[in-house]
A and B are shown apart, each in its own frame.
Chain A
Amino acid sequence: NAGVTQTPKFQVLKTGQSMTLQCAQDMNHNSMYWYRQDPGMGLRLIYYSASEGTTDKGEVPNGYNVSRLNKREFSLRLESAAPSQTSVYFCASNTQGFADTQYFGPGTRLTVL
């Protein structure tokens, strides 16, 4: 039981490049989330998927797109990376949406030059 896994662990991009961050969970959770964590800003919700087949914007969605590929997998795409997207990205999942505790992956450290 791996919980929530994320790939890659680290990534360096140049401005304008694109990439996809992958997330998978093996806990049969319905809901999945993408956050970014920046110093002094805490965790901010980018997008979430309440259930398979649905996605919704969070607090800071601009510059990102998501895909809920199936119940297990939720990917985050940066189409044209900008230095302001340098951050640590966390994927999380849970059973009952926002009234439930969330289980986090280990994070992806992204640097955009």
Chain B
Amino acid sequence: QKEVEQDPGPLSVPEGAIVSLNCTYSNSAFQYFMWYRQYSRKGPELLMYTYSSGNKEDGRFTAQVDKSSKYISLFIRDSQPSDSATYLCAMSGPTSGTYKYIFGTGTRLKVLA
């Protein structure tokens, strides 16, 4: 079982839809949770960064962390064609005396105009 599971998609939605992207994880030591956006043939860029459980909002983006369920989500409101990209979840925390930083495999999102 992978430490971080993420549905690869692709996920196709019409413009203006609310998008929900999710990751599950197995390591309860993870403390920091990130969402990166990666456009085709580009490097990942940070979208959201949260510490521990709770919600964080930034414009049209909301990140949720539920540590009790080991589940994190990214919501995109009023989705735009420019949101079409691959979204990678990432998480980090202490494991066996060292620190781990693990990425999900990414979900491809396509927002149709």
Chain A residues proximal to chain B, CB less than 8 Å? 4, 40-43, 45, 90, 92, 97-99, 101-107
Cβ of B81 within 8 Å of any chain A Cβ, yes or no, is: no
**Are B99 and A107 closer than 8 Å at their CB atoms?**
no
**Are A43 and B103 closer than 8 Å at their CB atoms?**
yes
Give chain B's interface residue range (CB within 8 Å of chain A). Answer: 20 to 34
Q: Which residue of B lies closest to A45 (CB)?
A: B101
How many angstroms between the C-alpha atoms of A101 and B103 in the bound complex?
A: 12
How many angstroms between the C-alpha atoms of A24 and B42 in the bound complex?
A: 17
**Are B42 and A106 closer than 8 Å at their CB atoms?**
yes
- In the bound complex, residues from chain A placing their C-beta under 8 Å from that of B44 are 43, 90, 104
**Are B101 and A102 closer than 8 Å at their CB atoms?**
yes
- In the bound complex, residues from chain A placing their C-beta under 8 Å from that of B34 are 101
List 19 extra interface pairs beyond A92-B43, A98-B99, CB under 8 A: A4-B43, A40-B105, A42-B4, A42-B103, A42-B104, A43-B44, A45-B101, A90-B44, A97-B99, A98-B92, A99-B32, A99-B92, A102-B101, A103-B46, A104-B43, A104-B44, A104-B45, A106-B43, A107-B43
**Are B101 and A42 closer than 8 Å at their CB atoms?**
no
How many angstroms between the C-alpha atoms of A95 and B98 in the bound complex?
A: 17
Chain B residues proximal to chain A, CB less than 8 Å? 4, 6, 8, 31-32, 34, 36, 41-46, 49, 88, 92, 99-101, 103-106
Interface of A is mostly: mixed
- In the bound complex, residues from chain B placing their C-beta under 8 Å from that of A103 are 46
Partner of A98, one of B4, B8, B101: B101
CB-based closest 10 A-B pairs: A98-B99, A104-B43, A42-B105, A43-B103, A98-B101, A42-B103, A98-B92, A101-B46, A104-B44, A106-B43
